[in-house]
Copies of this chain bind each other. A is one copy, B any other.
Amino acid sequence: MRDLHWSPKEKTIARRAFDRALHRELEATIQEAKLMAARIKSSDELWELERHLTQRRKAIDAKYEFKYSVLLLVLADLVREARINPDELHGLGEDKLRIIRGHAQ
C-alpha cells in the first residue's frame, strides 16, 4: 500500500474528502461542546467539558493524519465512521477503492 502511485487527480479527490470529513467532525464537536456548556450546572460538569475537549482534540489530531503511506487506512476509517460517503471517493483507482472497502468493513 505504501508503494501505490497517486495521480494528481486522485490526490485532489482524497484531499477533498479528507478535508470535508475533518470539517464535519470539527463542526460536530463544536455543536456538542455548545450543548454540553449550555447544560452545565456544577463545576464538576465544567471540568468534565474540559476533559471532553482534551480527549476530542487528541483523538482528532491522531485520526486526521494526511500522509500517502497511511491515507487509504485513514480514508477507510472515515468511511466506516460515516464521515466520508463512499461517493466522495469516486475517481480513485479501483486498486485503492478495493483496499478502502476491505478495511472499511
Contact = CB atoms under 8 A, between A and B. Distances in A.
Interface stretch (A7-15, A44-52, A88-96): A44-52
Main secondary structure of the interface of A (DSSP, over half): helix
Interface residues of A, number: 17
A46 to B, nearest CB: 5
A68 to B, nearest CB: 24
Contact of A50 (B34, B38, B40, B50): B50
A53 B46 contact: yes
Interface of A: 26, 29-30, 33-34, 36-38, 40, 43, 46-47, 49-50, 53-54, 57
A49 B33 contact: yes
Given A37-B37, A38-B37, A30 B46 contact: yes
A81 B38 CA distance: 27
Contacts of A43: 26, 29-30
